[in-house]
Amino acid sequence: MRESLSIRATTYALLALFVFMVAVPLFWMLTTALKSNKELYEDFTYLPHRPTLEHFVRVIRRDGLLTNIWNSFAVASVTTAVTVVVSAFAAFSIVRYKYRGREWIGRFILFKYVLPTAMLFVALYAIVVALGLGNTLKSLMLTYLSITVPFCTWMLMGYFRSIPAELEEHAMVDGCTKIGALFRILLPLSAPGIVASAIFSFTLAWNEFLLALVFTSDQTTMTVPIKLSMMVVGDQYIWGQLMAGAVLATVPITILYFLGQRFVVQGLSAGSVKG
């Protein structure tokens, strides 16, 4: 009894420590966005005494962040739409069709999923420039597919494997074509997996930093991450606007992440990190 009491005490003490550790930066981001410049730089306060939305107004009006939000949104949406279709086909092919060499494709997809972008960005940059796509959103839509498609294919392979093939076989006995079975049987049954892979490719594209930094150089083509990181060097007293922009970039994507996270734990456990 004494042991379990001390264990409970330790558990809650550690929990409090972890919560504090995670909370401090979040607190600082939110309160900075809501403080006036006077409270930020002259009389330091821990809490905003007179909360104001002026930084949100300024980051949108003066810094034109809406353009960049729209860029991020366009890139992420196109990437996601293409990714879901392409990787659903690929996963269906690898899991349900029988032909020589498919194991190798599966292995290569996994290899790419693990291979970091940092290895490839110099060559990708040279290719993007050679294609005449330098400083365009198209360059991002195209190259992000090389990150999202392997990830989502790997995830959907796990999902499709967890659904018995008998259901499709019955449909095919009834005269459905094999590809028809994908659309009528497998896709509806894997809806959570499809939703999760869509959310994850959207998140990946929304958050991607390195390629966006390398490929785009213009205020009008920058995505949100690049725009905000460029603001750091511009101005000493930028933190209010910057944190307001950070909040705008974080809130929607974090909600999306949590919606998708439920599904991805299932997806991962079906695919890879199975205990």
Q: From the centroid of its chain, how far is CA 253?
A: 8
Least Å from the CB of residue 254 to other proteins = 5
Residue 15 interacts with other proteins (CB under 8 A): yes or no: yes
**Site for other proteins (CB under 8 A): which residue of 190, 197, 249, 263?**
249
Residue 123 interacts with other proteins (CB under 8 A): yes or no: yes
Residues 36-55 that bind other proteins (CB under 8 A): 40-41, 44, 46
Residues 161-200 that bind other proteins (CB under 8 A): 161, 165-166, 168-169, 172-173, 178-179
Least Å from the CB of residue 198 to other proteins = 16
Token pair for 204: 């990946």
Residue 136 interacts with other proteins (CB under 8 A): yes or no: no
Place of tokens 């002259």: 42
Q: How many residues lie near other proteins (CB under 8 A)?
A: 103
Whichever of 80 and 153 has its CB closer to other proteins, that residue is 153
Residue 258 interacts with other proteins (CB under 8 A): yes or no: yes
Token pair for 111: 């290899």
> CB–CB of 109/153 below 8 Å?
yes
Q: How far apart are CA 167 and CA 144, in angstroms?
A: 34
Residues 101-120 that bind other proteins (CB under 8 A): 102, 105, 107-112, 114-120
Handedness of CA 153, 159, 161, 165 (dihedral sign): negative
Residue 73 interacts with other proteins (CB under 8 A): yes or no: no
Whichever of 46 and 70 has its CB closer to other proteins, that residue is 46
> CB–CB of 48/35 below 8 Å?
yes
Least Å from the CB of residue 61 to other proteins = 20
Q: How far apart are CA 19 and CA 129, in angstroms?
A: 46
Residue 243 interacts with other proteins (CB under 8 A): yes or no: yes
**Site for other proteins (CB under 8 A): which residue of 80, 239, 241, 244?**
239
Residues 201-220 that bind other proteins (CB under 8 A): 206-207, 209-210, 213-214
- The interaxial angle of helices 54-61 and 2-34, nearest 10 deg, is 60
Q: Is 187 exposed, middle or buried (0-12, 13-18, 19+ CB in 10 A)?
A: middle
Residue 230 interacts with other proteins (CB under 8 A): yes or no: no
Q: How far apart are CA 34 and CA 47, in angstroms?
A: 9
